[in-house]
Amino acid sequence: MLYDTIGRKESEWAGMTAGQIRNVGEQPGSVLVIPVGSVEQHGNHLPVVTDTLLVEAMVDTAIERLDGVPVVVTPPVWSGFSPHHLSFGGTLSLEFAHLRATLEDIAHAGIQNGFDAVLFVNGHGGNSSLIDAVVSTVGVDTHAEVLGTTYFHLASDRIEELRTTETGGMAHGGEFETSLMLALRPDLVGDPAVRDGEPMDEHYGWGGQDLLDGGNVSVYRSFDEYSSSGAIGTPKQASAETGERIRSVIGDELAALMVAIHENNA
């Protein structure tokens, strides 16, 4: 619960005083990090908070690797743009325009504390185009440098080397996310008997096939057209060991990005 966890990390916006936040923001090359997740169905074996939990964990892993970088992390934006998951229930989705406005407001308010750069770190595929848009809408109206990334697109070549499944096995609720959850919160992962996932079957070969293969053509489909369980991929092949390796790779890459942002704006 928030009351029991806030303030355990030095970089947490929510656990700092206003003066402490401004002191960090006014340092040369300061970076404001805004994690963006979702609350949506992840099949029968993962909790609906998976995307928010994982993006926060990846940011935290990166922060642990930093030394001397002035950075503050906002509380995660826990609701994403997930209309394609609504048919399964359990999903809390914002309208595209509402989420865009929310992210813009958070960024602009944060920048007022003196930050030189803002980094949106996204953890839900359905938010990707929205994050790209917000980078431009915020960037055009502020002095700060504005960037955005989806964490599972970072270091995808290195992650490909870690997978035990073929392309399609690391889709929604598949080997990738289930492995990370087994590494981070195994108590929230259903036992193997309920880890049901189906192969990604997108009609257009140019479309997305996997979290690591987003494709070159966008197409809207409700998730019940892809899967009867809500999960796509091969969660039965997930392991905590794979999850720890993925976490380390992404943590390294995200930390390197934050260092580069700091150095470019110092």
Q: What is the CATH number for 121?
A: 3.40.50.10310
Number of domains, the chain: 1
Domain that holds residue 63: 2-260
Instruction: State the pLDDT at residue 210.
Output: 84
265 assigned to some structural domain? no
Cα 223 → chain centroid: 19
Residue 266 is assigned to a structural domain of this protein: no
Nearest to 246 by CA among 182, 185, 180: 180
In a domain, 90, yes or no: yes
pTM of the predicted model, to two decimals?
A: 0.96
Distances (CA, A) of 1 to 61, 76, 183: 20, 14, 20
Residue 95 lies in a domain: yes
pLDDT of residue 204: 79
127 is a domain residue: yes
State the Cα–Cα distance between residues 169 and 187, nearest whole angstrom.
22
Strand pairing report for 71-73 and 31-36: parallel
Q: Residue 245 falls within a domain, yes or no? A: yes
In a domain, 20, yes or no: yes
Give per-10-residue mean pLDDT for the chain (266 aa): 83 97 98 98 97 98 97 97 95 97 98 98 95 97 96 91 89 95 98 88 79 82 84 94 97 98 97
Report the phi/psi class of residue 47: left, alpha or beta, with left for phi > 0 and alpha for psi in -120 to 50: beta
With respect to residue 243, please indicate whether it lies within any of the assigned structural domains: yes
